[in-house]
């Protein structure tokens, strides 16, 4: 920066192609040649996938977003005080940051309007979110990072003052237990004493409510799930026909998680020119595209401890559907 020049309000580093797309190619090849087949949920979120997720958050059946919003609307001032009035708000999987506004407003009211560091794999939504936020919060500085947070966590900009790392929406539940432990341990290693993590988690509840949330009547979740096939068609020159697959989502009570899949409606072969790979699907064969783990307080606190984090606060909505929790090192 030229000496004396004002810092830009928005700076966003994009690290999506830092590895030349090799990671996606390798991961998709591994997933499609595994038994059973599996794809990572991070590939849902191209521009259309992010828009479909936004529509999911407004569905009557999908309660987690409303429950989390209610907690943030009512208790952000308390959360910000408990987190020691941080000067930097990092948000992992920030998306449209709609609910984050409650935290930013509470920080602004506490006189610590922070540097906001959105971290998301979806480039379009990160730029749109940054533009809206600087218009809404004059004086806000944004230092974003578009990346896969499991790869580039250590590249997240520092900001100033205490850091609060928010991981909202229940996205932690989309990680398997071992990667989840490693991920939280890496976050813990980045935190200084006095910094905190604010984690949103969907809680275990009746199977019928869980299954309804992932099988909405309008078919938006089905479209979101199938969008991963369109992403592979575009990014890897594949010829998936989304109409030859159906959306399947069921609750696995033993693992306490929703299991989300695409089921092949017929015997078919799919070609992925970008991988020089042909994949066969049998009629009825299922490919997992996402898990969404549901927690109890005890389980989540043990997940924290395994990762070297200390539970430091617990906030739920009145119905007890969802929890925001604070943790520190």
The site for ligand AVI (CB under 6 A) is made up of 56, 64, 169-171, 173-174, 214, 221, 224, 290, 292
Residue 158: half-sphere exposure toward Cβ, Cα within 13 Å:
3
Residue with tokens 């506004």: 101
Instruction: Output the CA–CA distances (angstroms, integers) from residue 25 to 3, 135, 224, in the order listed.
Output: 43, 38, 21
173 binds ligand SAH (CB under 6 A): no
156 binds ligand SAH (CB under 6 A): no
Residues 222-241 that bind ligand SAH (CB under 6 A): none
CA 150, 145, 136, 42 dihedral sign is negative
Out of 104, 114, 148, 291, the residue judged to bind ligand SAH by CB under 6 A: 148
Sequence-ordered strand ranges (E) for 223-264:
245-252, 257-264
Out of 53, 62, 315, 322, the residue judged to bind ligand SAH by CB under 6 A: 53
Supply the minimum distance, in Å, between the C-beta of residue 33 and ligand AVI: 24
Q: In what order do the strands lie in the sheet with 10-14?
A: 10-14, 141-146, 115-120, 88-92, 163-167, 196-202, 322-328, 310-316
304 binds ligand SAH (CB under 6 A): no
First to last CA, the chain: 34
Supply the minimum distance, in Å, between the C-beta of residue 183 and ligand AVI: 14
Supply the minimum distance, in Å, between the C-beta of residue 255 and ligand SAH: 20
149 binds ligand SAH (CB under 6 A): yes
- What residue is closest to ligand SAH based on CB? 169
169 binds ligand SAH (CB under 6 A): yes
Do residues 59 and 218 touch, judged by C-beta distance below 8 A? yes
Given ligand AVI, ligand SAH, none, residue 221, with its beta carbon under 5 to 8 Å by kind, binds ligand AVI
76 binds ligand SAH (CB under 6 A): no
Rg of the chain taking only CA atoms, in angstroms: 20
């Amino acid at each position: 920066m030229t000496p004396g020049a004002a810092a830009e309000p928005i700076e966003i580093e994009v690290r999506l192609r830092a590895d030349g797309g090799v990671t996606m190619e390798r991961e998709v090849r591994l997933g499609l040649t595994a038994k059973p087949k599996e794809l990572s949920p991070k590939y849902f979120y191209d521009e259309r996938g992010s828009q479909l997720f936004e529509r999911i958050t407004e569905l009557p059946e999908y309660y987690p977003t409303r429950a989390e919003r209610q907690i943030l609307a009512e208790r952000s001032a308390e959360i910000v005080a408990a987190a020691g009035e941080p000067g930097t708000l990092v948000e992992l999987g920030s998306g449209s940051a709609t609910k984050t506004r409650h935290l930013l407003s509470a920080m602004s009211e506490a006189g610590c309007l922070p540097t906001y560091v959105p971290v998301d794999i979806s480039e379009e939504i990160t730029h749109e979110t940054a533009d809206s936020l600087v218009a809404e919060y004059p004086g806000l500085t944004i230092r974003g990072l578009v990346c896969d947070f499991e790869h580039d966590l250590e590249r997240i900009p520092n900001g100033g003052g205490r850091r609060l790392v928010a991981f909202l929406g229940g996205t932690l539940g989309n990680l398997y237990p071992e990667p989840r432990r490693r991920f939280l341990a890496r976050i813990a290693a980045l935190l200084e004493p006095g910094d905190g993590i604010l984690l949103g988690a969907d809680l275990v509840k009746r199977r019928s409510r869980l299954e309804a949330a992932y099988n909405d009547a309008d078919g938006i979740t089905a479209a979101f799930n199938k969008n991963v096939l369109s992403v592979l068609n575009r990014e890897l020159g594949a010829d998936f026909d989304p109409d030859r697959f159906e959306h399947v989502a069921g609750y696995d009570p033993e693992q306490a998680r929703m299991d989300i899949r695409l089921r092949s409606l017929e015997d078919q072969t799919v070609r992925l020119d970008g991988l020089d790979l042909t994949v066969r699907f049998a009629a009825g064969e299922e490919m997992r595209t996402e898990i969404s783990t549901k927690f109890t307080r005890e389980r989540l606190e043990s997940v924290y401890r395994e990762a070297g984090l200390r539970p430091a606060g617990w906030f739920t909505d009145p119905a007890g559907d969802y929890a925001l929790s604070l943790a520190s090192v």
